[in-house]
Amino acid sequence: MTQAYTERFTEVHEPGGTLFPISRAIGTYNTAWLSMRDHQRIVFLIAVGVIAQGGTVDFAVQQATSVLGAGATGVFHNAGTIVITQLTQADGDDLLAVEVRSEQMDVNTGYDFLRGVLTVAGAAVLTTVIPLRGASNYPPVPVTGWTEVVVT
């Protein structure tokens, strides 16, 4: 499904579960569980600032059978789970995109929800994660997930 020229980006991409930019201490941070029943794909945009010596950042995608995370497990593609290559001090100031299509989920066994899992280790890091669901089964999606939409 492609985006028609007359459709606004905000009409066909629905944000939700955002981890807004802050300095995150060592730990694990999860986006909200997002229903994929009416969407064919999701992109997690991950922005990472400078990583201090000894610091690392990891990101993985999990699926579940309910909005409460029942049966949470990794989303598999080809030979392994969908994860980024670990970022270290040599990295930083990075922008990553992790895209998942609904056919990569175990929908036959009831897995309809996805979330992103960000793990910070070794040192605090400025990060943000913005999930954007797209390819809606019933376009256009509402623009209620956006704080403001400016159209010129």
Looking at domain 10-134, its CATH class is: mainly beta
Q: What is the pLDDT of residues 77-114, one digit of tens each?
A: 656 677 888 888 877 688 999 999 988 888 888 899 99
Average model confidence (pLDDT) for the chain? 88
pLDDT at position 13 is 87
Taking residues 108-130, what's their average pLDDT?
Answer: 94
pLDDT at position 108 is 83
* 125 — pLDDT class (breaks 50, 70, 90): very high
- Residue 1 above 80 pLDDT? no
Give CA–CA dist 69/34, Å, rounded: 10
Taking residues 15-26, what's their average pLDDT?
Answer: 93
- Dihedral sign for Cα 65, 71, 75, 76, please: negative
Q: Which residues of 20-36 are buried (b: 16+ CB within 10 A; e: fewer)?
A: eeeebeeeebbbebbeb
Sequence-ordered alpha helix ranges (H) in the chain: 9-12
Query: For residue 74, what are its two tokens?
Result: 């990794």
Q: Which residues of 1-10 are buried (b: 16+ CB within 10 A; e: fewer)?
A: eeeeeeeeeb
Query: For residue 114, what are its two tokens?
Result: 């996805």
pLDDT at position 144 is 73
pLDDT at position 3 is 59
Domain ranges of the chain: 10-134
